[in-house]
Structure formats: C-alpha cells, structure tokens
Amino acid sequence: MHPEHITFFHWPQSRSAGTRMLLEELQADYQIHLLDLKKGQQRTPEFLALNPMGKVPAVRHGDVVVTEQAAVFMYLAELYPERGLSPAIGDPLRGPYLRWMVFYGSCFEPAMIDKSMDREPGAASSCPYGSYEMVVRLIERQLERGPWLLGDRYTAADVLWASALGWILAFKLIPASAPVQAYVERFRARPAVQRAMALDAEIAS
C-alpha cells in the first residue's frame, strides 16, 4: 500500500496538532478531514463509526483506521522508514523509543489530568503513574541528556512529547524548568513544525 494514501482527521488547537507536525516532518502526502470540535463534528455517526471514542487524531490509510495518539504516531513513522523517525527492530533505541511513546498516554497524560483537576492520584497500588512529582522528575532527567528525548537522534517520540509539553507549559501544569523549556524551543524552531503551526493558524483564523 502506498504511504501517500493517508486521510488525517484533524482539528487545530487539539491533540491532533502534533500529528500534523509529524506528517510535515515525514513529508507525507496527506489529505485533511477537518472536524470542528466546537460544533461537535467528532460526534457524528460517520466519525464514530471510525473512532467510537470521538477523538482526534485519527488516520485512515487505505482500509486501515488508526486511532489513539501514540498508535497514530508509531504507525505513520513506520510508513516512512526513510525519514528515520522510527527506530527499526534491532536498533538499540527501539526499546527506549517504544517505552516513551507508551509512557506518554499511560502515565504522563493521567498525571497531568489529575494535576489540572487538582485531585489526588489515588493509592499507589492502583495509580497508573505513581505520583505527579515522580513523572516530572523522570521527564526532566531524560531531557537533561538532550538535545532530544533519546539523545542525539530526533524521532517521532520528540514530536509527540515536545508538542504536548508546549501545551502543558502554556497551561502551567509542569514547572518551566530549563531542560523542558529548551527542548520545546528547539522543537518549535524546526522548519516542519513551523510549517505545521502556520497551516493550522490559517484554519483557526
């Protein structure tokens, strides 16, 4: 299946903004299907048939539909192995890459949601992430090694994390430490990221 046959279900100023950045980094040929979240278009029967959770991002590649942010990122990055954004099987970075892709949704987002709602994480035996402080320390220590999440190599994990951390900093849900700020600034300086942001700004205007 040719990787150019990608339909991207998207709305700016949502989690799918990072997916657009990834598509631009991959130099993918994709078509956007806009879903106005303010008008509830993500809840139409047509879209719920593709993603019953009614969330973006989602992508359709031929007959394949992929939902859930980290899964979308991993799927797209592997469609374009020549771009080098997904460590291949056998690459020593493959394990760390998968770990951080999954850690985002399984630990980071739950911790940030609890923080934003000012609620306790629950008992250690049932909490998926341990503690908010533990999650923040782990991220900061990883980014101190820089310049990217896995060291010198830039991957799709950076697109996922840096795009998310930009929002998290804006909402002041994580301390504006030097490693986190510098990481987000490096990411936003990339031409593909600036291009994606400009394209989304045109839609939002």
pTM for the model = 0.94
In eight-state DSSP terms, residue 87 is P
CATH of the domain at 113: 1.20.1050.10
User: Do 79 and 167 sit in the same domain of this protein?
Assistant: no
pLDDT in tens, 33-57: 999 999 999 999 999 999 999 999 9
Where are the alpha helices (H) located in the chain, listed in sequence order? 16-25, 45-50, 69-79, 94-103, 109-116, 132-145, 156-170, 178-188, 191-204
Residues 121, 151 within the same domain:
yes
pLDDT tens for the chain, 205 residues long, are 456 689 999 999 899 999 999 999 999 989 999 999 999 999 999 999 999 999 999 999 999 999 999 999 999 999 999 999 999 999 999 999 999 999 999 999 999 999 999 998 888 888 999 899 999 999 999 999 989 999 999 999 999 999 999 999 999 999 999 999 999 999 999 999 999 999 999 987 7
Separation of first and last alpha carbons in the chain: 35
What is the identity of the amino acid at 138?
L
Query: Are 128 and 173 in the same domain?
Result: yes
* Per-residue model confidence (pLDDT) at position 125: 83
- Residue 105 lies inside a defined structural domain of this protein: yes
Same domain, 25 and 67: yes
In a domain, 181, yes or no: yes
Q: Domain check: are 107 and 72 in the same one?
A: no
3-state class (DSSP) for residue 148: strand
Does 165 map to a domain?
Answer: yes
Question: Both 185 and 199 in a single domain?
Answer: no
Nearest alpha-carbon partner for 26 in 63, 73, 66: 73
Specify the pLDDT at position 3: 61
The strand ranges marked E within the chain are 6-10, 30-34, 58-61, 64-67
What CATH number does the domain containing 53 carry?
A: 3.40.30.10
For residues 99 and 155, membership in a common domain is answered with yes
Same domain, 12 and 38: yes
Q: Is residue 124 domain-shared with residue 76, that is, in the same domain? A: no
Residue 42 lies in a domain: yes
User: Structural domain of residue 162, as residue ranges?
Assistant: 93-190
Structure tokens at 175: 């301390």
Q: Looking at the domain assignment, is residue 1 inside a domain? A: no
One domain for residues 183 and 197: no
Q: Give the model's pLDDT for residue 39.
A: 94
* pLDDT value, residue 60: 96
Helix (H, G, I), strand (E, B) or coil at 151: strand
Residues 50, 129, single domain; the answer is: no
Q: By C-alpha distance, which of 148, 152, 171 is closest to 160?
A: 148
Whether 167 is covered by a domain: the verdict is: yes
146 domain-assigned: yes
Domains in the chain, number: 2
In this structure, the number of other CB atoms found within 10 A of the CB of residue 48 comes to 12
Q: Is residue 164 part of a domain?
A: yes
State how far Cα 134 lies from the chain centre: 21
Q: Looking at the structure, do residues 134 and 61 belong to the same domain, yes or no? A: no
